[in-house]
């Protein structure tokens, strides 16, 4: 298993899409921070932040799109592309069980996804703190908020990555994975709410899903029970979807 993980990590660190996404996020964070710094709300500007913590809170909002869309792109080029290049054949015929092969792939993808999800908020916090100073929040200590935000970013991105990885395992094609992943995340909240209006238990499921959790993960005021749920739900989701990925991959014929 460790050989597979080392190999997958090696491939991830040589994946151009991974570095391109990281570079784009780095650049976006720098530009966003300096735009905010240079923008003057009292003179008609729209960007309003006065501290590093403000920048983090603001970045967390935008990061939901990075988690949903960015990870679909990464999954397309890191997981699905293995089918189109034929390298999945190499892996499957290499003498490891399919379960191990796909678990290693999904774990490394989740790891890479967590890195991708952390770049924007961490940089916004760091650059914002340099430009404006660290700052403080009324409901929560700065340290607690930062740790909670980044911690939930880790767990939520892991959960979302597992969902996207399953889509990538099922659809052998980068384009399909990216397209279907984005469409899925674009509509799924609405679908849950719409069905939930008729079937209340569906709404309850949605409330306790990571799809809903990500809407609240940057709240300054969060009860400890909610914080625990926000951490546990994504981790449980990740475990379930990795298991589904294993199930799907074990039954899949590699063409």
Partner 1 sequence: MNEYVLRTRGLTKRYKNQLALDSVDLAIRQGAIYGFIGQNGAGKSTLMKLVTGLAFQTSGTIELFGETGEKELIRSRKRMGVAIETPALYPSMTARENLEAHRLQRGIPGKDCIARTLELVGLEGTGRKTARNFSLGMKQRLALGVALLGDPEFLILDEPTNGLDPMGVVEMRELLQKLNRERGITILISSHILSELDLVATYYGIIHRGKLLEQMTAKELREKCRHYLHIKVDEPQRAAAVFERELATSEYEVMADGVIRLYAHLENPARVSRALVESGLEVEQFMPTGEDLESYFTARIGGGKHV
| Interaction site with partner 1 (CB under 8 A) | 3-4, 6-7, 10-11, 14-16, 85-98, 253-255
Closest CB to partner 1 among 19 and 34?
19
Q: Which is nearer to partner 1, 16 or 198 (CB)?
A: 16
Provide, rounded to whole angstroms, the least separation between the CB of residue 84 and partner 1. 10
Supply the minimum distance, in Å, between the C-beta of residue 10 and partner 1.
5
Q: DSSP secondary structure string, 87-152?
A: HHHHHHTTTS-HHHHHHHHHHHHHHHHHHHHHHHHHHHHHHHHHHH-----SSS-HHHHHHHHHHH
**Nearer to partner 1 among residue 104 and residue 218 (C-beta):** 104
CB 48 within 8 A of CB 41: yes
123/33 Cα distance (integer angstroms): 9
Rounded to whole angstroms, the Cα distance separating 234 from 56 reads 21
What are the structure tokens assigned to 132, written together? 């404006």
Residue 23 Cβ vs partner 1, minimum distance, rounded to whole Å: 15
Min CB(68)–partner 1 separation in Å:
25
DSSP3 helix / strand / coil % (the chain, rounded to 5): 80, 0, 20
If the CB atoms of residues 81 and 157 are measured against partner 1, the closer one turns out to be 81
Whether the CB-CB separation of 168 and 251 falls below 8 Å is answered with no
Compute the CA torsion angle 237, 143, 109, 250 (nearest 10 deg): -20
CB of 81 to partner 1, least distance (A): 9
Length of the chain: 255
- Least separation in angstroms between CB 28 and partner 1: 23
């Amino acid at each position: 298993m460790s050989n597979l993980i080392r190999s997958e990590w090696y491939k991830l660190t040589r994946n151009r899409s991974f570095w391109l996404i990281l570079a784009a996020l780095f650049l976006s964070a720098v530009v966003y921070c300096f735009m905010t710094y240079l923008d003057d709300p009292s003179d008609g500007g729209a960007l309003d932040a006065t501290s590093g913590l403000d920048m983090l809170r603001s970045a967390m909002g935008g990061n939901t799109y990075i988690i949903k869309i960015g990870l679909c792109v990464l999954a397309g080029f890191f997981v699905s592309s293995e089918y189109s290049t034929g390298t999945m054949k190499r892996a499957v015929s290499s003498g490891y069980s399919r379960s191990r092969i796909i678990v290693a792939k999904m774990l490394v993808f989740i790891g890479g996804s967590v890195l991708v999800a952390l770049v924007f908020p961490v940089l916004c916090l760091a650059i914002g703190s340099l430009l404006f100073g660290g700052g403080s929040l009324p409901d929560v200590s700065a340290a607690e908020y930062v740790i909670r935000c980044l911690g939930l970013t880790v767990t939520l991105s892991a959960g979302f990555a597992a969902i996207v990885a399953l889509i990538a395992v099922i659809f052998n094609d980068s384009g399909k994975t990216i397209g279907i992943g984005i469409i899925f995340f674009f509509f799924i909240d609405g679908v849950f709410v719409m069905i939930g209006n008729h079937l209340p238990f569906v709404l309850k499921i949605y409330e306790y899903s990571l799809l809903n959790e990500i809407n609240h993960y940057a709240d300054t005021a969060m009860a400890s029970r909610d914080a625990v749920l926000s951490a546990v739900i994504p981790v449980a989701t990740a475990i379930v979807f990795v298991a589904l990925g294993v199930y799907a991959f074990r039954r899949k014929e590699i063409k």
